[in-house]
């Protein structure tokens, strides 16, 4: 039976798992208390739920609950981490190291810091999307106050050598921050074992609700708050906590921990099927390291095609040409350009993000639809 609309844009956002929604619902009306209300049972109940969620989130990444700061999402967490570290640095001349292929939620805060006089080095990547560790070490100076490199790329799924990066940062006593929005809940990771000092992630990328995320702040690492007004989250992030969202976030983390391995194996099989079939089309290329990447992500370029026309022809399939945060622009993907992909090919590229609810029937349908569209547009 032909599927209806097929959703293959899970890197942009994921549907809320029904089990997550079920956990959240009572906190909208029956258990609606403010977690900061310390004088009655409604507040105590909400605070207890938040602390339980904090434990669930922390357990997923190998952290202590006290190291989890709830935010409105990964973008806020990135701003808090990057600006919070730079603000507290005692260096007169401040220097940050990042990468050309970071998400805009990191690049834009860094651009704002540059306007304020902070020096930022943007490391290049090779054709596989990976940084050069030797180049990173060469760029570290006495003024370097932060290294910020994403865990897994949102457009290609390429996973950076995080443990080695953290070791270099530790060698020079520089805090290491990673935007792990695409990685958390998809692959096993332990912040303590890896040596990460700060890490951002978001619920809506892992079958939780939108509008809630977290920043991991390693014990002993100091950051300056960016939002004032009540001293919530141990003074690092003021504002009334989104209790239903946080409860959902916690449940999403619990579910990811339980079924991550099974999800990863199943989605890799479906992703590989999709790639193998589409790469048989002449002039089709894969973007990103073939092995060192997330199992559910594929980025393919189709020679000789107008990417916009290809997208329009796939009206029953939800895919993207890059980050959801930059989909309104007409510029080619900065990630693909950074990997040396030509503008022409970058414009003719599609990102596929499979997810927990993706079925084999949907992949079979997508393969046939994309194949026929490519052939038709090339004739």
Which active-site residues does the annotation give?
A: 325
Is 13 exposed, middle or buried, given 0-12, 13-18 or 19+ CB atoms closer than 10 A?
A: middle
- Cα angle 196, 297, 14 (rounded to 5 degrees) comes to 80
Q: How does DSSP assign 316-341, residue by residue?
A: TEE-BSS-GGGTT--SPPHHHHHTT-
Q: Is beta strand 6-7 parallel, antiparallel or unpaired with respect to 317-318? A: parallel
The total number of residues written for the chain in this structure:
379
Contact 218, 198 (CB under 8 A): yes
Rounded Cα distance between 10 and 17, Å, is 13
Residues contacting residue 48 through CB under 8 Å, at least 6 positions apart: none
Rounded Cα–Cα distance for residues 106 and 352 (Å): 22
């Amino acid at each position: 039976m032909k599927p209806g609309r097929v959703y293959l844009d899970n890197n942009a956002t994921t549907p809320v798992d029904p089990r997550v929604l079920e956990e959240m619902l009572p906190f909208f009306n029956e258990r609606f208390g403010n977690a900061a209300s310390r004088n009655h049972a409604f507040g105590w109940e909400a605070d207890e739920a938040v602390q339980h969620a904090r434990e669930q989130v922390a357990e997923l990444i190998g952290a202590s609950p006290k190291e989890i700061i709830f935010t409105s999402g990964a973008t806020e967490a990135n701003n808090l981490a990057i600006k919070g570290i730079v603000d507290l640095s005692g260096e007169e001349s401040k220097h940050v190291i990042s990468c050309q292929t970071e998400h805009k939620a990191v690049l834009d805060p860094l651009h704002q810091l540059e306007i304020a006089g902070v020096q930022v080095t943007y490391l290049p990547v090779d054709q596989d999307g990976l940084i050069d560790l030797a180049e990173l070490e060469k760029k570290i100076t006495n003024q370097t106050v932060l290294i910020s490199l994403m865990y897994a790329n949102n457009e290609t799924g390429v996973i950076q050598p995080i443990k080695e990066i953290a070791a270099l940062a530790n060698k020079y006593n520089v805090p290491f921050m990673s935007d792990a929005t695409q990685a958390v809940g998809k692959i096993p990771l332990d912040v303590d074992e890896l040596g990460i000092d700060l890490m951002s992630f978001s619920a809506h990328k892992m079958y939780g609700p939108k509008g809630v995320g977290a920043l991991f702040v390693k014990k002993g690492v100091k950051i300056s708050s960016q939002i004032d007004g009540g001293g919530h989250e141990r003074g690092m992030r003021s504002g009334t906590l989104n209790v239903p969202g946080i409860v959902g976030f916690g449940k999403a983390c619990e579910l990811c921990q339980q079924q991550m391995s099974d999800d990863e194996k199943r989605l890799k099989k479906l992703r590989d099927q999709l790639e193998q079939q589409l790469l048989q089309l002449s002039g089709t290329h894969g973007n990103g390291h073939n092995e060192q990447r997330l199992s559910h992500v594929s980025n393919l370029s189709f020679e000789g095609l107008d990417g916009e026309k290809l997208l329009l022809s796939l009206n029953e399939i939800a895919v993207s040409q890059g980050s959801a945060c930059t989909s309104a622009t007409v510029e080619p993907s900065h990630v693909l350009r950074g990997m040396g992909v030509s503008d022409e090919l970058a414009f003719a590229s599609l990102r596929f993000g499979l997810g927990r609810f993706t079925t084999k029937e949907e992949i079979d349908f997508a393969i046939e639809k994309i194949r026929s569209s490519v052939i038709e547009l090339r004739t």
